[in-house]
Amino acid sequence: MSNKETMKKNKLFFSLDKELNYINEMNKAGWKLVYIKGGCVYHFEKTEPDEYFTILHAAAKEKVMEISAFAAQCGYQSIPHTMDGYGDFLYLTGKKAEVSPEFVCEGPEKTESAKRIYHRFRTLSIVFVVISLFLMYQAGFMIGTRMADPDASVALTVICVLFTLFAAAYLAMCVYVLALTAKARRSFKQLQSESEIYE
């Protein structure tokens, strides 16, 4: 859905890097992000091409208002989004000519942001692993039941095959989330090591 001044895009990202790349590509094309609904519906408004730049920052809940106020002083606007149940993720956008791509330049703040992003992915990966194990167990049980009954109906066979394919697809998604978690952990550990070196 779109008109000359606004646009709505449905996207689902597990990778924060890919999400930010997408948002900033839209910025380059002349679309400013103004709202994210449900974590997957992105609302844009028409602007000048390459006028805005968007960053993501994670902070403790008690510091979110303070960082939002500081970001506003640095020329950034906070983008509302309804998927952040933790209340610690900030999507910040501002005019490229007026803001720095990295408004949080201090090592401890960068490290804390990376740590929170890593912990978010770690929680997500645990959920995916648990669900994947359950689905694989159920798929194995269904296959065993089907193999034990040579007279099973065609419908049961089809259901068994479809469920097994679904479980396999979910397992593949789980592996992808684990890879993203490992990447987030490496980023956090690298920043942590760098901050320790300079202390």
Which residue did the predictor score with more confidence, 131 or 114?
131
- The mean per-residue pLDDT over the stretch 58-65 comes to 78
How far is Cα 60 from Cα 188, in angstroms, rounded to an integer? 16
Q: Tell me the DSSP string of the chain.
A: -B-SSEEEEE---S-HHHHHHHHHHHHHTTEEEEEEETTTEEEEEE--TT-EEEEEEE--HHHHHHHHHHHHHTT-EEPPBS--SSS-EEEEEEETTTS-S-S--SHHHHHHHHHHHHHHHHHHHHHHHHHHHHHHHHHHHHHHHHHH-TT--HHHHHHHHHHHHHHHHHHHHHHHHHHHHHHHHHHHHHHHHHHHHH-
Q: Which residue has the higher pLDDT, 105 or 15?
A: 15
Mean model confidence pLDDT for the chain: 83
- Mean pLDDT on 2-23: 84
Asked whether the predicted pLDDT for residue 153 surpasses 80, the reply is: no
**Residues 92-117: tens digit of each pLDDT:** 899 988 886 556 555 677 788 888 88
Nearest to 86 by CA among 131, 127, 123: 123
Which range (36-45, 67-76, 177-186) has the least confidence? 67-76
Q: How confident is the model at residue 1 (pLDDT cuts 50, 70, 90)?
A: very low
pLDDT at 61: 76
Cα end-to-end distance, the chain, whole Å: 51
Evaluate whether 156 touches 132 at the Cβ level (below 8 Å): no
The domain segmentation of the chain, as residue ranges, is: 6-104, 108-198
Query: Which of the two residues, 71 and 195, has the higher pLDDT score?
Result: 71
| Whether 61 contacts 88, CB under 8 Å | yes
| Higher-pLDDT residue of 28, 190 | 28
* Higher local confidence (pLDDT), 74 or 132: 132
Residue with tokens 């008109």: 3
User: What pLDDT, on the 0 to 100 scale, is given for residue 171?
Assistant: 92
For 36-52, what is each residue's pLDDT tens digit? 887 789 999 999 999 99
Nearest in space to 57 (alpha carbons), one of 13, 93, 12, 15 = 93
